[in-house]
Chains A and B, each alone.
Chain A
Amino acid sequence: MYHSGRSIVQHRMLTVQEEVMALSKEERCRELARLVGIPLMEAEVAEVAERFESLLRELERLTQLDLASIQPVLVFPEEEASS
C-alpha cells in the first residue's frame, strides 16, 4: 500500500488520468488519434479537438439516464411491432 492508502495500481491509474487531464485538448486529441491509428493533419488538429470535445460534452448528457437494466439492441426484433 502507498502511504495515501491507495494500491500501486490505483495510484498508477490516477497518475495516468491526471497526466491525460493535464494535456491540452489538442494534445489529448493527437494522443488518442495516435492510439487508434488515425493520422491527423496538423493544421486541422484544433478543429478535430473542438469537434471531439463537443461530441463528448453532448454525450455526457446521457450519463443522467439510468441504463443499468437496458440490454443494447442493434436491430429491434420484429415481434415488438405487434405487441
Chain B
Amino acid sequence: MTRHDIPWLSAAETAMAIKTKQVSPVEVVQAYLARIERLDEQLHAYITVLRDAALAAARQAEQTVLRGGDLGPLFGVPVAVKDQFWTKGILTTNGSRVYRDFVPDADATVITRLQQAGTILLGKLNLSELAMGGTQEPPWGIPRNPWDLERTPGESSSGSGVALAAHLCAASIGEDTGGSGRGPAAYCSVVGLRPTFTRVSRYGMTPMCWYLDTAAPMTKTVQDCALILGAIAGHDPRDPFTSRRPVPDYTARFGRDLRGIRVGLIRELYEDAGMHPEVKQAIHNALEVLRQQGAEVRQVSIPLVALAGAIFVGVADTEGAGARDDILRTRAAELDRASRTRLQAAALVPAKVYNRAIKARVLLRQQFLEVLREVDVLVSTTAPAPPPKHTALTAPFVDADDVRARLFFRRAYTGCYALTALPAISLPGGFTTDNLPIGLQLGAGPFAEELLLGVAHAYEQATPWHTRRAPGAEG
C-alpha cells in the first residue's frame, strides 16, 4: 500500500491497516494532511486544520502500536468534526463571525469519546452559520461539492460532506437538527445518520434548536457509521436527556439478508409532484434491491408528513430565534444577512403559533409509531432533487412564495424524523445522468439503529454507489 492509497480507505480499513502494521498512524495523518493542503484551498471543507496536534497524536499512537497495545476498531483513524462541537483550547466558530474568537475551555462529550476510541482529530469543519443553512457569504469560504464545484454540498454540515467526498478525513461528526447531517450526506454521496434523540450526548454542541439537535455520524461507509455511533453513543451525566439504555454492537446485523424485514415506502414522500424524475426512479430501483435481498416491500401512508415542513419551521426557527436571543439583541450586525433576517422573522412568531407546531409534532410522532407497528423500516429519498447550484441558493428572495419554495418545501423529507425523534440514515442511492448524487433515506423506530444500519449495510453491499469517486476528489 502506498501513501496515495491511504485516504481512499474507509475508517474501518484504515484502522485494520494500522493494526496489522501495513501503515503507521503517522503515515496516515501525513497522507490526509497532504490532500488537505492540495485540495482544500478550493473546496473550503476546513475552518481549522490541526496539523501539529494531529501529527503529535499520530506519533503517540505509533508508540501504542509498537508496544502491542489493545487497539479498537477506530484506532488511529483521522477524523474531523463540524465546527459546532467544543474543543478545549481550540477555536470553535459555529460558522459565524460572532464566534470568531470563541475558544472553549472544555471538550464536547462527542470529542472526548472519539479520543477514547483512539481516533485522531485532524481539524474543524466548515458549516452554515450557526448550523442554520442559507448563509450567503460564509466567513470561511463557500464549501464546494466535489461532485460539481458549482453546486452546494448541502447544509448545514457542509464541510463534513465535502471532506468525506473528497477524502480529506476518514470519518466525521456533523450535527442534524432537521437534516443538517443527512442532507449533505445525500448531496455528497456519503453516509449520514441521525440517531434517536437522546442516544448521543449534546454536551458541548452549540445549540441550534434545543429539542431537535443531535450529533450525526457522517462516514464513507455504513460500517464506519456503525463504529462511530458505537463510540459516541450512551448516557452522559452532563446531558440529562441522554438515554441510559446500553449501547449495542451496531454491526451485529451485518452480513445477514433482509428476509423477514418489512419495508414501507412513504407514499406522501414518493408521490410528491415536485420530485425530480431521476430521483424517483432511483427510489424505485432501491426498493427492487431491497426486495431482492428478501425484504417485504409495501407502501404506507403517513398523512401528516405533507405538513412536516410547516411543523418543522414552526418548531425549529422559533426555538432557534429563542436560542439566539442575545445575539439578535446585541450583535445582529455581525451575522450574515440571510441568518439575521431569518432569525429576526422567526423571533416575531406568536407563542400560540409555536404551541400549535409542538402539538402537531406529537400528532406526527403518533402517526409514525402507528405505521412502525406494520413495518420495520421506512423508505424515501433524502432530498427530492439533486444538489442545486450555489447561485440558486444565494439569490435574493423574490416574494413569499419564493421563500416557501426554497426554505420550507424540502424540509418535510428529513424534518419528519427530527420532529418525531426517530433515527434515520441517508446513504448513496444512485446518480443522475449528470453524475450528481441521489440519497436514499431509511428510517426506523426509537433506538432501532442496529436494524437500520443492518438494512443500510445490506443495500450498500448490493449496490456500487459508495465506490464511485467524485471528480473534485481526484485533483
Contacts and interface: CB of A to CB of B under 8 A. Distances in A.
Q: Which of A29, A38, A59 has the most CB of B within 10 A?
A: A59
A58 B313 contact: yes
Interface residues of A, number: 39
A40 B307 CA distance: 30
Point out which of B311, B333, B355 has the most chain A C-beta atoms below 10 A from its C-beta: B311
A72 B311 CA distance: 13
B348 A36 contact: yes
Contact of A62 (B243, B311, B408): B311
Question: Interface residues of B: mostly helix, strand, loop or mixed?
Answer: helix
A73 B362 contact: yes
Contact of B400 (A41, A53, A63, A76): A53
Contact of B397 (A38, A50, A81): A50
A71 B362 contact: yes
A51 B317 CA distance: 11
A44 interface: yes
Contact of A44 (B241, B337, B363, B369): B337
Interface string B229-248: 00000000000010101000
Contacts of A53: 400
Contacts of B404: 54, 57-58
A5 B345 CA distance: 38
Interface string B353-373: 101111111110100010000
Contacts of B399: 50
Interface in B6-21: none
Interface of A: 29, 32-33, 36-41, 44, 47-59, 61-63, 65, 67, 70-76, 78, 80-81, 83
15 contacts: A38-B329, A41-B340, A44-B341, A48-B341, A51-B345, A54-B404, A59-B353, A65-B304, A67-B360, A72-B359, A73-B358, A75-B211, A76-B365, A76-B421, A78-B198
